[in-house]
Amino acid sequence: MIRKYTYGSPFQTDAVVQQKKTEHDTLPYFEEIKEDGQLTLKYQLDQEDAVYGLGENVRGINKRGWIYESRCMDDPVHVETSHSLYASHNFFVVSGRQSFGVFVDYAGIISFDMGYTHLDELVMKPQEADLDIYIIEGDSILDIVRQFRQLVGQSYIPPKWAFGYQQCRWSYMDEDEIRAVVKNHRENQIPLDSVYLDIDYMERYKDFSINEETFPDFEGFVQEMKEQHVRLVPIIDAGVKIEEGYETYEEGVKNHYFCKNADGTDFVAGVWPGRVHFPDVLNPKARDWFGKSYKFLLDKGIEGFWNDMNEPALFYSEEHLQQVFEKLGEFQGRNLDLDTYNQFLGMIHGLPNNREDYKLFFHNINGKMVRHDKVHNLFGYNMTRAAGEAFEELEPDKRILMFSRSSYVGMHRYGGIWMGDNKAWWGHLLMSIKMQPSLNMMGILYTGADIGGFGDDTTEDLMMRWLQFAVFNPLMRNHAAMGTRDQEVYRFDHTEDFRKIIQMRYALVPYIYSEYMKAVLKSDMYFKPLSFVYPEDSHASQVEDQLMVGESLMCAPIYTQNATGRYVYLPEEMLMLRVRGPEDYTCERMCSGHHYVDAKLSEMLLFLRPGHLLVLVQPADSVEQLDTTKVKVIGFKGQRASYELYDDDGFSRNYDLDQNVTKITVEEDGSVTVAGAAKLCVETELAE
């Protein structure tokens, strides 16, 4: 059951797709305090209560014990004590004495104190008291999540090739560098489905332009790569360069499609190209225009994009920068003591992403000027929505890969996300594991972190362990920042081990794709915490470093340097696969409980649940080349088990669940039946 409560006059975010009527009674569960215009909502937490959700954020799967702030932030050095990351995902479930879900539909800045100030108090404080709150009750956590997901609509579906392995770097500078990357993967038989184009493919960082010196025949090159089953995926940045004669800029200025200053002039900020304007993607006309601009690249054969810097990130606002320049002179010749030195540094460090600068510009929403900070968290969402809405018109019969850095609930209908600029830190690998189920709760299913870490130099073992977890991530992309160590997997000593782990991903693609699609079509989660699946098991709720992956599997990644194994908790008897590659694994039946299991650097662990099946295919160089008609099914000997395998053409928008499912059943005596959409040749491997 979902009930909606309204405070003041909220801005319509378009997060929900089911319209609910506002209730007249008071908000349940929470104590409401109004003081000096500040609304505070408090819930008394029981010692046993867990709080799940909040999507893209630091810390645990259970969010208790920290204060989070929904404020989309460009923070490439985020740590455990950060309060905000790139997104605003205001949905959580309290589970314990009383269980209920809360979705705060609010475009402005809001804090969620989950037992930080007082261990047993959950406190929400919005910047202004204009918001909708949805209270969701259900039979279980998963039921609450499912209802929320239906409220906010169906998740985005990428093309199937986007479930392959993807390689990125800031930046591959020209055609030849990309050719070499592809050649090295192919020669080493490391599967690969796409290579990313970071900001340097553009002419001086101008959206919807190509650097013709480094990419002299862009269209031809896109085609050449496709012939090798490799898609190129260009980046699109939020800021549009200010440059006379540049079409996107000229059109935006002429039609008033850019965000404005209070005096009606176009707001100027600094990002990669220097001075830019921000497209006013909250204005429906401007959104339509910006989205249609992607046509420039679609027409050149491009089938996927990533939207960046759309918090929106700003290096500086022109106004603030001028103030700093004026003040800097005052420091010249002075003895900079502690205070003055800090003031001096603070002026420079205060330039990027300054809270005050977000109050300087305005959106034109149906004729009304709305100050940006009041709707700040909707920018990335609407930039991606711009593209998603345009793709539906421009490419009605084709799925386009799209994912964004910044997001708000609702954006999951138009694209996925990556987890922003992480570091080559073991702690960030663990964080990416914990973040996955929280993101899935929001409906964001197509997601993954930059494998190996984006900032700082990675190590071979970190890369290996990260890949072993990323095998299960729908978005599996290796990405690194400028100036860091080369981290394409063929750069390391043990290329063969990397090849086999990536091949394992390809062997799993039919299962991963099937589970992804079922999660989308049934408003389910692809990654689940153990506690969601085994609610009665008090140990399961303590496990934050193992995840259920779809209906059959559990993964237990290793995220500690030099570890040659780990503790694993099995809520029930399971089959453990210790995997080096698709043809190179051991199977062992293990009883429920705590175990220490060995896993050498080249080995990953995965666990199959009883009564379930694991479906594998032969790996190939790319997703398109997989032969999905011949499958190997792994299960328990002497147990009846079945699996519903979803498959479709992978690019059209026809996702009928009934038409696209094939049911594979293994009987107690080991005989197999196949019924439904596909004709499959099934080989079984049943463990004693």
Which parts of this chain interact with ligand GLC (CB under 6 A)?
Answer: 170, 198-199, 235, 308, 405, 420-421, 454, 479
- Distance of closest approach, residue 382 Cβ to ligand GLC, in angstroms: 18
Please name every residue paired with 38 in a beta bridge, in sequence order, or none if there are none: 35
Closest CA to 292 of 397, 208, 223: 208
* Residue number with CB closer to ligand GLC (70 or 310): 310
d(CA 246, CA 368): 28
Contacts of 530 (CB under 8 A, 6+ apart): 537, 540, 541, 543, 546, 547, 548, 554, 569, 571
* Residue number with CB closer to ligand GLC (88 or 406): 406
- Distance of closest approach, residue 498 Cβ to ligand GLC, in angstroms: 22
d(CA 525, CA 667): 28
* Residue number with CB closer to ligand GLC (405 or 505): 405
- Distance of closest approach, residue 685 Cβ to ligand GLC, in angstroms: 40
- Distance of closest approach, residue 210 Cβ to ligand GLC, in angstroms: 16
* Residue number with CB closer to ligand GLC (105 or 308): 308
Token pair, residue 505, equals: 């991903």
Identify the helix (H) or strand (E) that includes residue 463. Answer: helix 460-470
Cα Rg of the chain, angstroms: 25
Dump strand ranges (E) for 168-213. Answer: 194-197
d(CA 518, CA 209): 38
- Distance of closest approach, residue 482 Cβ to ligand GLC, in angstroms: 7
- Distance of closest approach, residue 71 Cβ to ligand GLC, in angstroms: 17
Do 416 and 402 form a contact (C-beta atoms < 8 A)? yes
Identify the helix (H) or strand (E) that includes residue 633. Answer: strand 630-636
- Distance of closest approach, residue 308 Cβ to ligand GLC, in angstroms: 5
Dump strand ranges (E) for 244-342. Answer: 260-261, 269-271, 274-277, 304-308, 316-317
* Residue number with CB closer to ligand GLC (396 or 483): 483
d(CA 457, CA 388): 35
Do 100 and 94 form a contact (C-beta atoms < 8 A)? yes
- Distance of closest approach, residue 238 Cβ to ligand GLC, in angstroms: 11
* Tokens 């010249």, residue located: 332
* Tokens 């968290």, residue located: 377
* Residue number with CB closer to ligand GLC (357 or 421): 421
d(CA 260, CA 457): 40
- Distance of closest approach, residue 8 Cβ to ligand GLC, in angstroms: 35
* Residue number with CB closer to ligand GLC (364 or 407): 407
* Residue number with CB closer to ligand GLC (149 or 428): 428
Do 232 and 305 form a contact (C-beta atoms < 8 A)? no
Q: Which residue is nearest to ligand GLC (CB)?
A: 170
- Distance of closest approach, residue 38 Cβ to ligand GLC, in angstroms: 34
- Distance of closest approach, residue 129 Cβ to ligand GLC, in angstroms: 34
* Residue number with CB closer to ligand GLC (161 or 454): 454
User: Prior bond to 99 cis, omega within 30?
Assistant: no
Q: Return the DSSP state at 309.
A: S
d(CA 118, CA 597): 38
* Residue number with CB closer to ligand GLC (29 or 170): 170
* Residue number with CB closer to ligand GLC (481 or 645): 481
Token pair, residue 480, equals: 């690194």
Please name every residue paired with 672 in a beta bridge, in sequence order, or none if there are none: 666
